[in-house]
Amino acid sequence: APFSDIGLIILDEEQESTYKSESSPRYHARDVAKFRCAYHKALLLLCSATPSVESCYLAKAGRYSLNVLASRYGQAELPEVTVADMNEETQAGNTTVFSRVLRSALEENLERKEQSILLLNRRGYHTFASCTSCGHVITCPHCSISMTYHAANHRLMCHYCGYSIPFTERCPECGENTVRYSGLGTQRAEEQLGALFPQARILRLDTDSTMSRFSYEKKLNLFKQGQYDIMIGTQMVAKGLDFENVTLVGVLSADQSLYGDDFRGSERAFDLFTQVVGRSGRGKNVGRAVIQTYTPENRIIRLAAAQDYPSFYGEEIRFRRAMLYPPFADLILVGFIGLDEDRVCGASRAFLSLLRTMAQKEYADLPLRVLDPSPALVSKVSNKYRYKLIIKCRNNKRFREMLSRLLADFSGDRRYGDVTAFADSNPNTIM
């Protein structure tokens, strides 16, 4: 913002991953705000009900001033949270995505003319299609990811590059007409919800149904005006919304957010569950929430249901300390992207060799932990292969000097001129 005399910067929901730019220039808005406040001698206010682990650590260490609100706005009570064990639902013959306790709560809300919000963090109708004869999963030819079925146009779509094809039951691998779709997305959940409650006015909110900002805002206004009874959507329904008549929140499939290979996964899941539960009971009526899961004993489920951030932070900070993750070290991701997988892999190995040589000879004073190159979780996107190398260190001036030299030397190596290399400090996801 082009202001010359800044006195205060407020970063609301400071834990939000959207503050971090994952494309060039790679930066975190929180860091930019810190620099600007330091330059203008201004105050920076970071606000959140679920602060990032790094910010909370700095506050507890005395680097930030910590101020805690003892109660919700307007003295509203915290919602009562119920964890529904979906194993018991399956054993009882319930084949829908809605547990009996959630179904009953939705029915009660409809009778009382109160509104409900349902979270399912998967868009589409079904999440993948596979052949029941040979087991082949239909994947995007340009990306190493399965394609999602969309009922509205009867097509399979890649959510990474946008490639789509008409759905067909004929398997491209074995030729049998036995391709079936599986999994559950917001479109399918909306259909099941309509079958259970045909009288309900249902609003679906995801990137497929809100292609423009104005469409998103228009739908939220209609919901606020009481034109809909139930809103179902992806994580865009979880945060920052304030509707006085919402007294029920349901997390349809908590397990989708729990299990991944990223060290920030637990923090993201706790934040998502706590934030969406907090959408309930913000007005004069007491709120309720139902979290559905096949693993009710999971610690993130348990802590989110209790809305116990201090305990979550205590467990998470011990894990971060043991594994040397932020805030105890900076995590530098060096990424490599190119059209030929062998060359991308070779480039990452060549960079590792340069790093080891330079670190041993000229930067032996820098404490570094280096994880060898490996394919990205989604190893191909838009026909380009992706590898990553991780460095755990302190991102100080001397390390940045070494990294700049490494990237310059690598870019000057003509053997890998067709491979792009980049560095990202403390990324939200490990590629």
Q: How does DSSP assign 331-366, residue by residue? A: EEEEEEEES-HHHHHHHHHHHHHHHHHHHHHT-TTS
Calculate mean pLDDT across residues 95-101.
93
Confidence at 374, pLDDT banded by 50, 70, 90: very high
**Among the ranges given (116-130, 207-221, 344-358, 370-384), the one the predictor scored with the smallest mean pLDDT:** 207-221
What pLDDT was estimated at residue 383? 96
Q: Is the per-residue pLDDT at 324 higher than 70?
A: yes
Answer whether residue 111 shows pLDDT above 90: yes
State pLDDT tens for residues 222-235.
999 999 999 999 88
Q: What is the pLDDT of residue 184?
A: 80
Average pLDDT over residues 208-217: 72
Alpha helical stretches, state H, 5-52: 29-40
Q: What is the pLDDT of residue 171?
A: 94
Q: Are 89 and 112 in contact (CB under 8 A)?
A: no
Q: Which residues pair with 232 in a beta bridge?
A: 118, 204
- Please state the rounded mean pLDDT for residues 331-341: 97
Alpha carbons 272 and 416: distance in angstroms, whole number: 41
Sheet (strand 369-381) strand order: 369-381, 384-393, 330-338, 420-425
pLDDT value for 236? 86
- Domains in the chain with CATH codes: 8-60 (no CATH), 75-122+186-320 (3.40.50.300), 128-182 (no CATH), 330-425 (3.30.70.600)
| CA-atom Rg of the chain in angstroms | 24
Q: Does the pLDDT value for residue 124 go beyond 70? A: no
Output the pLDDT for position 1: 67
**Across 184-200, average pLDDT:** 92
Residues 46-59 have a mean pLDDT of: 96
pLDDT surpasses 70 at 125? no
Whole-number percent of the chain with pLDDT over 90:
78
Q: Between these two residues, 430 and 269, which has the higher pLDDT value?
A: 269
Share of residues in the chain with pLDDT > 70 (%)? 97
pTM (two decimals): 0.87
The pLDDT mean for the chain works out to 92
Question: What is the mean predicted confidence (pLDDT) over 159-173?
Answer: 93
pLDDT at 212: 63
Contact 181, 218 (CB under 8 A): no
Which range, of 3-12, 86-95, 119-128, 250-259, averages the lowest pLDDT?
Answer: 119-128
Confidence check: pLDDT of 429 > 70: yes
Per mean pLDDT, which range of 21-25, 190-194, 214-218, 269-273 is the poorest?
214-218
Grade residue 254 by pLDDT with cuts at 50, 70 and 90.
Answer: very high
Q: For residue 125, which of 96, 157, 148, 147 has the smallest C-alpha distance?
A: 148
pLDDT, tens only, 298-316: 999 999 999 999 999 999 9
pLDDT band at 213 (very low <50, low <70, confident <90, very high): low
Half-sphere exposure of 172 (CA within 13 A, CB side): 11
